[in-house]
Amino acid sequence: MKKKKPETHKIDTRILELLSDKALGELSEAELAEIRKLEEEHPELEKIAESFELTAAAISLTNLETSEPLPSHLKGKLLKASERYFAETEQGHEEEKTEEKQKTLILEPERKPLPLFGWLGWIVAGAACIALAVNIWLTHFSSESKKEPKTPSLAEQREEILQMPDAIKLEWKHPKTKEPLGDLVWSNSAQKGFARFYKLPANEPNKETYQFWVIDESQKSPTDAGIFDITTEGEVILPVDTRIKVEKPKMFAVTIEKPGGVVIPSLDKITAVAEIETRN
């Protein structure tokens, strides 16, 4: 009965995985212990691991984008390692040629089997480059795919509303002094708008809040369009969004209400109005 050959390819595949993850700095504590034990048993792994790190550095220094840049200290280490690696490799090739010539002259009857890692050489170095490149590529794009789509800023959303065919732009004014306070853009088809204020006074959220209202000709009472607070000075952009469909908006208003807002606006606390001019 013939003896089964050991499945060394499984061992070699595991070693490739460990070396690849080590070069990327992704080994767990258990895997670190595993690779250290292998390196103790097979000193040849040290040079092979070095070539993996060199491959990682080479890929990182190209135009291939990775999720994180290669640390500068690792770059320096790997550049030095590359010089030493290729110098030793060239010397090794010369020694191999000399040894082969000697074996040919002596006419050795039988070639001794190579040790477990003797077959790696340039073949595995090439396989390492491919495996590591694929690993980095997949790591990069899997992390990219997990990123949520970027949400447009309020300023960008305001511009989108402004570009709509039915968009209107109104000026916010103080109801008594008529002082300009900002502007409002609104789209009936989108049922949404954005208010921009320049001079609205800051409020104390624990005592009061601002509330948007839409005066709609098709409704008997003003429609709530959301509450907001002003806590900083300067320009602010705020969404105006109603829960009830607006059919024929006539005027927009802002009142000061109790925290959480109200159902019916306090008409004596109107602080800003934006009226749609009607054409005769």
pLDDT value at 125 more than 60: no
Average pLDDT (128-132) is: 56
Q: Which domains does the chain have, with CATH numbers?
A: 8-146 (no CATH), 154-275 (2.60.40.200)
Q: Structure tokens of 76? A: 């320096």
Among the residues of the chain, which ranges form H helices? 8-24, 29-41, 44-60, 72-106, 121-146, 154-162
Report the predicted TM-score, pTM, of the whole model to 2 decimal places.
0.50
Q: Is 18 exposed, middle or buried (0-12, 13-18, 19+ CB in 10 A)?
A: buried
Give tens-digit pLDDT for 171-209. Answer: 999 999 999 999 999 999 999 999 999 989 999 999 999
The confidence score (pLDDT) of residue 123 equals: 45
Q: Structure tokens of 42? A: 């097979």
Taking the C-alpha atoms of residue 52 and residue 15, their distance in angstroms, rounded to an integer, is: 12
The confidence score (pLDDT) of residue 150 equals: 82
CB distance 138 to 20 below 8 Å:
no
* H helices, E strands: number in the chain: 6, 8
pLDDT value at 144 more than 70: no
